[in-house]
């Protein structure tokens, strides 16, 4: 039987999705409709680690691209991230990464290093964006309009894609770092302050890839 109330709800649904941040293209669509053709998403990985670099990625999609599986990289299993990484790279019209070493992190602090990495990723794009969606509560000091979005990697498909590219890139870098320091299981804990990492630090002491300005490392003294 025809139900006018159900019909009304069905007719309203697309509008609600369009106006709600739960629609993962809401923010992209907001700026596309304002005339910004190339909207980039930017995010970083490794900000809270005790070792290794911070890595950022920037991604631009065409407005007809929709990848519903994309989400905050931290909410995805490693094998899913790896598959989506390949899909993102083949679907994006442009992508780039920025990497800032642990030595630079110690010189300028992790917040500034993360912003530098994100700026480098944007600068590395082959197509210059005319608007940037940035994960977090800090915008970028660039001559390109940008908007910070807290938890943007879960709200925006483009930021979520950048978070996946940054995370996969960094994880693979830390697997290479483990080859240089085989006494540390960097390929597993990726430099985060896990119990295993803490035990390794107690046994072997910090390495040249550790962030010595971070409190747990400061307390251990210099390398």
Per-residue pLDDT tens for 53-62? 999 999 999 9
* CA gap 186, 200 in Å, rounded: 10
Neighbours of 204 (CB within 10 A): 11
**Domains defined for the chain, CATH in brackets:** 24-218 (3.30.420.10)
Q: What is the pLDDT of residues 160-219, one digit of tens each?
A: 999 999 999 999 999 999 999 999 999 999 999 999 999 999 999 999 999 999 999 988
Other beta carbons less than 10 A from residue 3's beta carbon: 9
Q: Which of 24-33, 75-84, 145-154, 212-221 has the lowest mean pLDDT?
A: 212-221
pTM of the shown model:
0.88
Tell me how far apart the 2 most distant CA atoms of the chain are, in Å: 76
Instruction: Give the Cα separation of 186 and 195 in Å (integer).
Output: 13
Torsion angle of the four alpha carbons 47, 192, 186, 122, in this order, in degrees rounded to the nearest 10 = -10
């Amino acid at each position: 039987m025809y139900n006018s109330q159900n019909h009304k709800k069905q007719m309203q649904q697309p509008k609600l999705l369009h106006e709600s941040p739960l629609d993962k293209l809401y923010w992209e669509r907001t700026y596309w409709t304002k005339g910004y053709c190339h909207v980039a998403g930017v995010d970083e990985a490794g900000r809270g680690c005790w070792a290794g670099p911070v890595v950022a990625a920037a991604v631009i999609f065409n407005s007809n691209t929709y990848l519903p599986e994309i989400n905050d990289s931290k909410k995805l299993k490693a094998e899913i991230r790896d598959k989506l990484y390949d899909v993102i790279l083949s679907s994006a019209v442009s992508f780039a990464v920025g990497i800032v070493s642990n030595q630079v992190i110690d010189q300028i602090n992790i917040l500034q290093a993360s912003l530098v990495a994100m700026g480098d990723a944007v600068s590395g794009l082959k197509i210059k964006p005319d608007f940037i969606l940035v994960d977090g509560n800090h915008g970028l000091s660039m001559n390109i309009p940008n908007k910070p979005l807290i938890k943007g990697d879960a709200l925006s498909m483009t930021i979520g894609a950048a978070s996946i590219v940054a995370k996969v890139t960094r994880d693979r870098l830390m697997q290479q770092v483990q080859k240089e320091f085989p006494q540390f299981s960097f390929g597993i804990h990726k430099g985060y302050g896990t119990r295993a990492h803490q035990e390794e630090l107690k046994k072997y002491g910090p390495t040249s890839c550790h962030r010595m300005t971070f409190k747990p490392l400061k307390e251990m003294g210099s390398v």
